């Protein structure tokens, strides 16, 4: 085994492609475990070798990594929740792993996978590896300085989102006038924002006036940086604009911006304010 080898369990979206590009730029030999119907085919352009498996297989992927002498691996990308509920076909090893779980929440499943990898000498590493420069930083990233009222709304949204995240329900809330309009569940952040926009449209059609909406997205209180990191990208901002939201609050140090240049360009185009918060104290007025 050499230190230039690294593995990737690739879900969907741009996250795994960003990592793969960085790995290739850094001269790392990348071995990809793809998920059938989920992993983008473009990942093969960056990999030494890519092997595809059904969601729920454990033995095959571990043998693939061992055969190539890969000792470190990370997870990146999204896996549709419907795939988990309807498309999971576990092999014998995965079935035993699932049987031992106390619950079927994402953290429990992913933590068990990490332990299973470790039992074969494979270390699951931080999902932000080689992407540290894309982690959200504290403070104002784009747009206007938050008003005192907006800071109060963001502080309330932070508490609401953290409560949601602690229960492993979702990471995002959408607010208007200090009231939660929508909370993320299994549908994901973009669908939550769209749903909030539909609610706002109905309110406006009924003659209700008020401020634009605010989106607050956080990490879990006990966020394991090895998997399921919060992410945001240019599409998030365009979805917010379409829904009638003008402010995005992200947790600093634990949220990845997928494509910083495109994200900043989208923030300028949409006029959306983007603010990074490290804790509740981040919302205290100067």
Q: What is the pLDDT along the chain (286 residues), one digit of tens a residue?
A: 347 999 999 999 999 999 999 999 999 999 999 988 899 999 999 999 999 998 778 889 999 999 999 999 999 998 765 444 455 567 777 777 767 777 766 677 778 888 889 999 999 999 999 999 999 999 999 999 999 999 999 999 999 999 999 998 999 999 999 999 999 998 889 999 999 999 999 988 888 777 889 999 999 998 999 988 999 999 999 999 999 999 999 999 999 999 999 999 999 999 999 999 999 999 997 6
Residue 106: the pLDDT is: 67
Is there a single domain that holds both residue 62 and residue 111?
Answer: yes
CB-based contacts of 86, cutoff 8 Å, min separation 6: none
Residue 231: the pLDDT is: 95
Name the DSSP letter for residue 280: G
227, 256 contact by CB (below 8 A): no
Among 84, 100, 124, identify where a domain stops.
124
Among 69, 94, 124, identify where a domain stops.
124
81, 186 contact by CB (below 8 A): yes
The pTM score is: 0.89
Is there a single domain that holds both residue 102 and residue 143?
Answer: no
18-57 confidence digits (pLDDT tens): 999 999 999 999 999 998 889 999 999 999 999 999 877 8
Residue 187: the pLDDT is: 86
> For 219, phi and psi rounded to 5 degrees?
-95, 165
Is there a single domain that holds both residue 146 and residue 268?
Answer: yes
Domain count, the chain: 2
Please tell me the distance from the alpha carbon of residue 20 to that of residue 17, in angstroms, as a whole number.
5
**Domain that residue 31 falls in:** 5-124
132, 254 contact by CB (below 8 A): no
Is there a single domain that holds both residue 78 and residue 191?
Answer: no
Is there a single domain that holds both residue 105 and residue 179?
Answer: no
Is there a single domain that holds both residue 31 and residue 86?
Answer: yes
Is there a single domain that holds both residue 195 and residue 251?
Answer: yes
Instruction: Please report how the helices 106-119 and 59-67 are oriented relative to each other, as an axis angle in degrees rounded to 10.
Output: 40
Is there a single domain that holds both residue 182 and residue 237?
Answer: yes
Please tell me the distance from the alpha carbon of residue 159 to that of residue 74, in angstroms, as a whole number.
30
Is there a single domain that holds both residue 83 and residue 58?
Answer: yes
Among 98, 124, 150, identify where a domain stops.
124
242-263 confidence digits (pLDDT tens): 999 999 999 999 999 999 999 9
Residue 43 CA to its chain's centroid (Å)? 18
Is there a single domain that holds both residue 148 and residue 88?
Answer: no
């Amino acid at each position: 085994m050499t230190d230039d080898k690294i593995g990737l369990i690739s879900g969907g979206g741009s996250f795994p492609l960003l990592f793969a590009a960085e790995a290739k730029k850094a001269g790392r030999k990348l071995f990809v475990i793809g998920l059938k119907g989920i992993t983008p085919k473009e990942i093969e352009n960056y990999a030494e070798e890519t092997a595809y498996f059904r969601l729920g297989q454990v033995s095959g992927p571990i043998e693939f990594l061992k055969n190539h002498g890969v000792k470190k691996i990370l997870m990146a990308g999204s896996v549709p929740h419907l795939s988990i509920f309807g498309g999971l076909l576990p092999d014998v090893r995965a079935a035993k792993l699932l049987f031992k779980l106390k619950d079927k929440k994402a953290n429990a499943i992913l933590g068990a996978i990490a332990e299973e990898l470790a039992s074969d000498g494979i270390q699951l590493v931080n999902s932000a590896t080689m992407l540290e420069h894309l982690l959200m930083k504290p403070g104002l990233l784009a747009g206007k300085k938050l008003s005192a009222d907006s800071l109060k709304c963001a502080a309330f949204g932070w508490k609401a989102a953290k409560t949601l995240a602690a229960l492993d329900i979702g990471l995002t809330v959408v607010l208007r006038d200090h009231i939660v309009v929508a909370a993320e569940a299994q549908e994901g952040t973009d669908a939550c924002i769209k749903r909030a926009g539909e609610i706002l449209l109905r309110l406006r059609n009924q003659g209700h006036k008020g401020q634009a909406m605010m989106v607050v997205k956080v990490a879990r209180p006990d966020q394991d940086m090895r998997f399921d990191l919060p992410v945001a990208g240019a599409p998030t901002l365009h979805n917010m604009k379409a829904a009638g939201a003008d402010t995005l609050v992200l947790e600093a140090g634990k949220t990845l911006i997928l494509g910083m240049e495109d994200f900043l360009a989208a923030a300028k185009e949409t006029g959306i304010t983007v603010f990074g918060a490290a804790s509740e104290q981040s919302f205290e007025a100067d």
